[in-house]
Structure 1
Amino acid sequence: MDTATLLAVCRVHQLLPDEGSVGVTAIDKRPVEGPVKVHKLGVHGDVQASRIHHGGEDQALYAYSQVDADYWVGQLERELPPGIFGENLRVSGIETTGAVIGERWKIGLDVEVEVTSPRVPCAAFQRRMGESQWVKRFTEAGRVGTYLRVIRTGSIQAGDHIHRLFVPSHGVTIGRWFSTPDVEAMEALRDAEADGEVRLQPEYHDEFEKLLRRVGS
């Protein structure tokens, strides 16, 4: 088992007015001190302003790695503290974009999570960052981090160890699916789901259909 570290646990600091359809955004995440409970919908006290585009049990937590944050520090030439990307978990020593879909982690003593899907950048994220063409830049860099499903609830805090418990054999990573979804990856994911190795979000099947239409056209 690999061991990594949870650097920070973040939750919404304040809801901000937003130009989107909901009218507010919960992207202003900031670190909290001490133990924090994690339930099926994420960090206790956090908010999912819109569950149409993200949120729900399949996207209960968003994790971003320090190595990717450091990349953006170099690109943007400014500090990027935990929570700035809207992440709930800033982690070190474990890949988020490089995580295999369906991979499971244990965080601290109790919490178990499962890697589900890549983060797709949105306009609210661009407004939060205040960077020109941010959605385009974030997408092209492919350092998107991962959403997590909570398998076992409990409490976590900064400094907790993260243990990789299980890695599916299909090998399709969050980054690969986000950047270059292809038929080979699709078939690997479908086979893994059929074998009970992963539980894919419904959105994957929508993407499968789009991919097949594109290939067949």
Structure 2
Amino acid sequence: MKLVSLNIGKPAELSYKKKTVLSGIKKRPVQTSLYLSNIGFIGDGQADLIHHGGEDKAVCVYALEHYAYWEETFNRPLPPAAFGENVTAAGVLETDVHVGDVFQLGESIVQISQPRQPCFKLAALHHEPKLALLVEETGYTGFYFRVLTEGKVKITSELKRTEIHPAKITISKANTIMNNKNADREDVHMLSQLEELAESWKKPLRIRLQ
């Protein structure tokens, strides 16, 4: 696992269809040291605080390996932070990391809280109307960290997994359970009961079980 890019950005206007919305999805790489608080990197921001940000979505992470697929799909190069992520990293594929895994990230300690659910703003950013759906279908969603211990992070910092959650529910598996309305009831129950899973994911799963 290796950090490739640290990215932050403040809310800015984003054109969507025939209107303009505010979004923090436009992020740019930084070379300076950043302080990671329990709600995210200082200097970063979100416009929609209902669906983005907060303690369970403090850091958005995306795998470097997926960039080649999307560049081939769209037949063009993609800039850094093309998926609005705070951290672009190698070796963090959705099939290899689990909800509840703990990592050392520079001076901070972080934990995977949930997969990322792509929204229309990602499609708007790239002028690709079906991009959110394509991200969901490929499973190349990325995921979020919550912050267990605050601290400074820089691009040369180490990213190291220190704990693998014993349930071993991968991000890929969690995505499949959430997005498949016919998922096995036992799997839905298992995921909904995972203590480390963000509450915003637990709630809809519990509703399905009812």
User: Does the pair score TM above 0.5?
Assistant: yes
**Mapping 1:181-192, distance limit 5 Å:** 181=178, 182=183, 183-190=185-192, 192=194
**Mapping 1:65-144, distance limit 5 Å:** 65-96=63-94, 98-108=96-106, 110-144=107-141
Q: Deviations over 1:40-76 (max 9, x none)?
A: 1111100011121121010011000111122212222
Q: Deviations over 1:135-155 (max 9, x none)?
A: 221111110000110111111
Q: Which sits farther off after the overlay, 68-77 or 142-151?
A: 68-77
Match of residue 196 from structure 1: none
Q: Deviations over 1:165-205 (max 9, x none)?
A: 11111121112111234433333335553xxxxx3322233
Partner letter of residue 70 of structure 2? W
After superposition, the Cα gap between the structure-2 partners of 1:202 and 1:132, relative to the gap in structure 1 and judged at 3 Å, is closer
Q: TM-score when scaled to structure 1?
A: 0.85
Is this contact kept in 2: 1:97–1:173, CA < 8 A? Answer: yes
**Mapping 1:28-39, distance limit 5 Å:** 28-39=26-37
> SS of the residue aligned with 2:145?
strand
Q: TM-score when scaled to structure 2?
A: 0.88
Q: Pick from 188, 200, 204: which aligns with 2:201? A: 204
After superposition, the Cα gap between the structure-2 partners of 1:153 and 1:79, relative to the gap in structure 1 and judged at 3 Å, is same
**Mapping 1:129-168, distance limit 5 Å:** 129-168=126-165
> SS of the residue aligned with 1:105?
strand
Task: Note if 1:26 corresponds to 2:24.
Answer: yes
After superposition, the Cα gap between the structure-2 partners of 1:48 and 1:14, relative to the gap in structure 1 and judged at 3 Å, is closer
Could you list the runs of 5+ residues in structure 2 that have no partner in the other structure? none
Is this contact kept in 2: 1:6–1:160, CA < 8 A? Answer: yes
Is this contact kept in 2: 1:170–1:188, CA < 8 A? Answer: no
Distance 1:28 1:174 in 2: 24
> SS of the residue aligned with 2:137?
helix
Partner letter of residue 100 of structure 1? H
Is this contact kept in 2: 1:9–1:89, CA < 8 A? Answer: yes
Match of residue 169 from structure 1: 166
Distance 2:141 2:90 in 1: 15
After superposition, the Cα gap between the structure-2 partners of 1:179 and 1:190, relative to the gap in structure 1 and judged at 3 Å, is closer
Partner letter of residue 29 of structure 1? K
Distance 1:93 1:86 in 2: 18
Is this contact kept in 2: 1:64–1:90, CA < 8 A? Answer: yes
Distance 1:150 1:204 in 2: 18
After superposition, the Cα gap between the structure-2 partners of 1:85 and 1:191, relative to the gap in structure 1 and judged at 3 Å, is closer
Match of residue 60 from structure 2: 62
Distance 1:176 1:96 in 2: 8
> SS of the residue aligned with 2:99?
coil
Distance 1:97 1:131 in 2: 25
Q: Which sits farther off after the overlay, 183-192 or 95-104?
A: 183-192
Root-mean-square deviation (CA), in Å?
A: 2.2
Partner letter of residue 7 of structure 1? V
- Number of aligned positions between the proteins: 204
Identity of aligned residues (%): 27
